Each structure stands twice: as structure tokens, then as C-alpha cells.
Structure 1
Amino acid sequence: MFFTLLHLFLTETMEKGEEKQGGMNGEEGATPGGGGRGGRELGLKSGMKRRHEEREDEEETSPTKKLVADHSKNVASHYNTLQEVGLAARSQSRIFYMRNFNNWLKSVLIGEILEQARGTGSRPVYVLDLGCGKGGDLLKWRRGGISHLVCADIAEVSVEQCQTRYEDMKRKSHAKEKIFSAQFITADCSKEVLSEKLDDPELMFDICSCQFVYHYSFESEQKADMMLRNACERLKPGGFFIGTTPDAYELVKRLEASDSLCFGNEVFKVSFQSKGSYPLFGCQYHFNLEGVVDVPEFLVYFPLFEHMAKRYNMRLVLKQRFSEFFEEKMKKEQHRSLMMKMMALEPFPCEDGGQLATDSTEEYSHAKERCGRPGVRPPVGTLSRSEWDATSIYLVFVFQKMS
């Protein structure tokens, strides 16, 4: 009953938020997964194409091409210096529930793709975690019963921490449990050929997972293509390339609705250098998420991403905004149960002696209104408005390798 209520509540909340805020989270009056995006998409598409053509003209007429800064080192440095904190500290974070929500979404995505990759049998499953970070998905691969994992990331310190996590997990596992084997690689996967660094040069993967990472590669066509090559060239026929990345349409929509070159709230901020035209590659913005991210990123123009993936014999099988993915997966009891287990939504009102993520009453006005409806038994599950605005800029994608 609790999760039925939170499902109804959260989807209705987002509908109301979009109606009030106009173009911020969607078209006026549109539901989170609704239609009506055609005009917006055409506007962004034409703007990106126009800017791309202008850039080509500039390069042809200019005696020297402009030098473009390489942001890979900045990204690596940021994640290398990001401090690892314990569970107690994370639970005090302003975005604790948002991070749990994102983690739940990844868990559902990875779990379902593992089922498809394994099929009806119990054959070995080999996985590439491209942009593995500190190893936040190691437990997901463990629960999925995979056979071998290759973890790769640009940040050396993160890879070291990922390997330490894996070794700790293996050491603490039960004697009868067979933990997957693993290789850990520090590499800039937007510049280096990953297959040349594999312990087994013949290794082929069933799944490549690229979570909250691919957008860094859209700094240039060369980088975006190399990242795709690393993700897809070693996939078996029928294998999957899955991931999460910001939705360029959503970011541009919010930028165009803003009176300045930035938008955000108390937990995140996105800043652009200009607006009105958007290059296909190198369309930079700065993303700041409280205590987690503070780096330059690049818009991923998805039709171009999909087109590029075809070079590696990949076809798009799923592309959904987080809100759409949430709505669909919450129909299954197993996913609702996992959401409760992972504390992916915040209970409102909180229990006696407890404290909400923020003292701002406006952040929970939607939850308060929901609790006041006839037949609703508090608490209901929610995210604060700021957390939802932050997580709703992302989308899920799944590509599959053609036979």
C-alpha cells in the first residue's frame, strides 16, 4: 500500500511541477513521460546543426584552427581528490535519497539486462564497467552472479579504491560463494584503446555498463567515437551497452527558460557559456552537485549518439527519462520492494524524532498536500523538489549488438 501511494504521489507531483514551471521539466501540462516534445527537439536539432555548420565554415576560412582545452585531466583530478566517506556521513548528505534513488534505478537496469544477457541458462557472463569510479556497482555485479568483470576509469585513485573494495568483498565472502574474477585498468577511455590493455586479448563481453560517464567524451567527435569503440567493439553479438547520461533536450529546455546562463536549486547548478546555438560536439556546461560533482560536462545530442553507435553494429532498444523508467518499473512488486530496501525515497512526514533532508517546507508542499487527501495513510515516499529537479535531468539508454 505504501509504495502504491508513493507511485501515485510522485508521478502526480511531477505533473503538477511541470504545469507550474512551464518548460522547466517538460512541456506545459505534459506528464513526465508524455509527448509533445517534437517542437522542442526540432528546435534543438536545428540549433545544433546550424552551430556545427558555422563551426565548419570558421575552420575552413581561418588560417589556424582554435585550440580547444582538453578537460580530461580536470575530470580525473576532481574524482581523484574526491574523499571517500562512510555510510554515516552519506546518510547526512542533503542528496542522500536522490543518490539512493539513482542507485535503485541502476540496480533495476543492471538486474534486468543481466537476465536478458544470461538467457534461460546459467552460462558465464562477462562485463565491462566503463567509468567504474570507486566501485559503486560491485555489489550489483556480485548479486548478478557474473563470471568476470573489467573495471576501467580515468581516475587512478578511484580505480585503486575500486580494487580495494573488490578485494575486501572477496575476502569477506562465504567460503562456498564464488566471487567473479576481475581486472582493474586506469585509462582515459576516450583516448586509449582499452582492448590493448586486457589481460586476455581474446576476451569478449556480454555487457558494457557506462553509468553517468559517457557525456564527458562528447568534448570532441574523436573522443566520443573512441569511447563508443571501447564500449562496443568487444561486445558479443547480442551483447548490451547500457548507461545513464544527462538528457540534452532537458538541459537546453531549462537553460532557454532561464533568465541567465545557469539554472538549478539548493542541491545542483548547471552553468552554460552561452545559449541559442549548440554545437554537436564540445557543447560545454559546468555541473555542480552538492559534495559529489563539480566538473565540466558536454551535451550528448542523442540522435547523433545513436547514429554513431550504428558504426559498431549497435541498435537502440531503450531510451527513457528517469521519470519514465521509474513509472514503468514501479509496476513490479520486486522493484517496489527493492526501492524500500534501498531507502530510495524519503518518508513524509518523518517519524518522531526524525529530521527531513531539508527544513524548507516548500520542498515538501506536494507531499503535505498528498497526505491530506482522503484515503491516504501517511507516510508517503517522496524526494524533495530540489532532488527530483536534479535527478530528472537524466535518461537511461540500452543498445544491443546486432548479430
Structure 2
Amino acid sequence: MELQSVRTEPVKDGGERKGKSGTKRQHEDDDETSPSKKQATDHSVKVASHYNSLQEVGLAARSRSRIFFMRNFNNWLKSVLIGEILEQVRGEGPQQVSVLDLGCGKGGDLLKWRRGGINHLVCADIAGVSVEQCQSRYEEMKKKSHVNEKIFNAQFITADCTKEVLSEKLDDPELMFDICSCQFVYHYSFESEQKADMMLRNACERLRPGGFFIGTTPDAFELVKRLEASDSLSFGNEVFKVSFQSKGSYPLFGCQYNFSLEDVVNVPEFLVYFPLFEHMAKQYNMRLVSKHRFSEYFEEKVKKEHHRRLMMKMMALEPFPCEEVGQQTADSQQEYCHAREHCGRAGVKLPVVSTWYLCFRKSPDAENKVFFCM
């Protein structure tokens, strides 16, 4: 699919931005807030309601979950990603590092930012209960910190980042970020062009020149491939399920599917057509640094000894065969056929994921450059 070029003007001071792909900002806002439009297409309320209703469980309960290893693997990947990006930021000289966690949830990455030694963090999410829990985790972390340890300052914002301008809610109106992290969140914004654009604006407009936008989002190509190979409108296994409303037609925005995962996630999501996403990011003077599927990222990073040690410490891989009877993630032995075939060499089964690792960087100059690295 060919994408038409779009002439744009930079967004400055909340001003208008025009192009072939959209109308003036004011018209977009009016369209989004009209009662008929909101009632027909707005899934933000469903997303907020879902995550607000999730109960916080303890470590013991999480360790018994069938997605225990998958969660750990995702956390390992994010730890490596965040750690390496912080190294790149600091490689350009000593500085106070500020981070925007866009879609922070309950604060699952707070410890990663603490280990990274950042100075300031802004956490934003649509789910108010999650933001409250994130703030409570932060306060508890500060309380339990060592006497001589300096914990980063933090601000917590409850906002629909697909509709509201975050820069207007910052305690420091002059604050600029070195990193924006958007983990497993951006796909919710692809309900419409206006929402996807606002999410990008919030991610990018307050980045310093040379700053990074990092994140993870489901691989639309893989989801469509599995759907087309299915005899029905869904696919999955005993742990997860993806359901579409139809086959054959996949609009660039608003292509909805429902994703459910082991009593943790059950909410509408939207396909993110990556070439379009990359194209939209150029309008905010971002160039693509790298993009990887989880499997590719794993194969690259696991070559380093310190990453392997961290993986074992975080229990990010499920042992096969399992030491304890009945403790495997899946009941179906078919799920472990590849592990059985290769257990003599590897001895483990990697969690199956279909996700992109992506990293954008704010261009220090005025040109819109895109580097596409596989």
C-alpha cells in the first residue's frame, strides 16, 4: 500500500496542523466530542473501566499464574530496552534525565526507572485507579529506599492521552523529556486518526532534540496472518484468544479486535499498521532508529552475558521439561512440540509472542528523516 506524502507544519503552542490526512485541530476536536461520534466509536471508557476493575494481587498469586513466565519475559525485555536507551542518553554527556511513562498502568516499570537512576518521571494513564496504585507504589518505594539513595521526583496524571494534551497538565510547563516510554499501550489509540495523532503528539512534542520514543505494540501483520489462516474469526489457545469481527478488510484506523489473556486482559484493541505509524511519526520530526519482533530482539540481546544473567534472575524462561508435574503453563502437550524437538539443544520453551519492539529518536535537525533497520 502506498501512502501519500503529507505536508505539515510543526505543532507549536497547541496550534493547528494541516495536511492531506486531516483537517484543522479544532475540527478534529469537535468531531471527537460530538455525542453521536463518541457513542458510536469511543472505546476509551471500556479500556479505563477494564483496567480500573483489575484487582491488585500479590507475588504468590502471580507466581501461580499460567502467564508467569510470559510476564517475566516481557519485563526482562523492557528492562534491557530501558537500560540500553538510558545508556545512549547518558552517552551524550552528564545530564538530568527526565522520562514520560505514557500509559504507566499500575507502575510496573517504576523499579526499572529507579535502577536507571533517572531524575524525574511523569506517569500518565487513562485509568484513575491504576494511576493511584502507581503513585502508592512510588511512595512505598521512597519510604523503603536507603538513607543515601536519591529517588527520582514524580508527577502522576490521570488523562485520556488520545484526547488530552499532556503538556498542559505538567507541573513544570517548561519540562522536556529525554525518553518517552509507551509499553503495550499505543494500539488502543488506533481507534481513529485523531486519537492516534494525539497520542503521538503527547509522546513526541515534549522530547528534547535527540530524545527517544520507545515502546511495544502488537504486530498487525502477524495478527492478520493468523486470522486468515484460521477457519473462524478467532485464534489462540488455552491462555489467550484473539477475535475479529470479520475477515478480508482491514482499515488503517478502527480495525478492532478483542484480545483476552488469562483473566488479566479482556478489552478491545486496534491494529497498528506500522508503515502508517512510521509515516505519522515523521510529522513530529521523528526518525525510526530500529524495529524488532520480540523473538529477534531476544536473539540479539541474549548473546550478552549480563543480559543472560538478568534473564535467569528474572525467571523469564519456562523450563522444559517441567520439574514439577502439573506445573506447565499449558495443559496441551501440542504447545510443547517445538520444545521437545529442541530440548536436547536448548532445554527451554520460549514464550510465544507477536509483538514489535520499536524505537524512535527525535531528530536534532529540522529534517524529517526515517531510518528503517531490521
TM-score range, shorter chain: 0.7 to 0.9
CA distance in 2, matches of 1:69, 1:120: 44
AA paired with 1:332? K
CA distance in 2, matches of 1:370, 1:295: 35
Matched ranges for 1:172-183 at <5 A: 172-183=144-155
Matched residue SS, 2:316: coil
Contact 2:239-2:330 within 8 A present in 1 as well: no
Quote the residue 2:28 is aligned against.
Answer: none
AA paired with 1:302? F
Matched residue SS, 2:57: coil
Matched ranges for 1:287-306 at <5 A: 287-306=259-278
1:278-306, Cα deviation, whole Å (9 max, x unpaired): 11110111111112110000011111111
Structure 1 residue 350: Cα displacement: 2.8
Q: Is 2:366 the counterpart of 1:398?
A: no
Structure 1 residue 368: Cα displacement: 2.7
CA distance in 1, matches of 2:258, 2:332: 26
AA paired with 2:133? Q
CA distance in 2, matches of 1:255, 1:154: 29
Q: Is 2:330 the counterpart of 1:358?
A: yes
Provide structure 1 residue ranges, at least 5 long, that are not aligned to the other structure.
1-41, 47-64
Contact 1:118-1:124 within 8 A present in 2 as well: no
1:122-154, Cα deviation, whole Å (9 max, x unpaired): 321100000000000000000000000000000
Quote the residue 2:283 is aligned against.
Answer: 311
Q: Which one of the candidate residues 335, 338, 349 is aligned to 1:382? A: 349
Q: Which one of the candidate residues 247, 269, 272 is aligned to 2:219? A: 247
Quote the residue 2:32 is aligned against.
Answer: none
Matched residue SS, 2:337: helix
Q: Which one of the candidate residues 205, 215, 231 is aligned to 1:259? A: 231
Contact 2:125-2:159 within 8 A present in 1 as well: yes
Q: Is 2:68 the counterpart of 1:96?
A: yes
Paired residues in the alignment total 331
1:77-129, Cα deviation, whole Å (9 max, x unpaired): 00000111111000111111011111111111111111111115432110000
CA distance in 2, matches of 1:267, 1:111: 30
Contact 1:240-1:400 within 8 A present in 2 as well: yes
Q: Which one of the candidate residues 91, 95, 103 is aligned to 1:131? A: 103
1:41-61, Cα deviation, whole Å (9 max, x unpaired): x6xx79xxxxxxxxxxxxxxx
Quote the residue 1:327 is aligned against.
Answer: 299
Structure 1 residue 354: Cα displacement: 7.8
Quote the residue 2:209 is aligned against.
Answer: 237
Matched residue SS, 1:68: helix
CA distance in 2, matches of 1:220, 1:74: 15
Contact 2:187-2:269 within 8 A present in 1 as well: yes
Structure 1 residue 352: Cα displacement: 5.7
The TM-score normalised by the length of structure 2 is 0.85
1:207-250, Cα deviation, whole Å (9 max, x unpaired): 00000000000000100000000000000000000000001111
Tell me whether 346-355 or 100-109 shows the greater mean CA deviation. Answer: 346-355
Quote the residue 2:121 is aligned against.
Answer: 149
Provide structure 2 residue ranges, at least 5 long, that are not aligned to the other structure.
4-35, 365-374
Q: Is 2:215 the counterpart of 1:268?
A: no
Higher helix content, 1 or 2: 1
Runs (4+) off by over 6 Å: none
Q: CA RMSD in A?
A: 1.7
Structure 1 residue 381: Cα displacement: 2.6
Quote the residue 2:184 is aligned against.
Answer: 212
CA 1:360 to 1:258, structure 2 compared with 1: closer, same or farther past 3 Å? closer
AA paired with 2:99? V
AA paired with 1:119? G
Matched ranges for 1:74-89 at <5 A: 74-89=46-61
AA paired with 2:119? S
Structure 1 residue 351: Cα displacement: 2.9
1:315-348, Cα deviation, whole Å (9 max, x unpaired): 0111111111111111111111111010000112
Bigger relative contact order, structure 1 or 2 (CA pairs below 8 A, ≥6 apart): 1
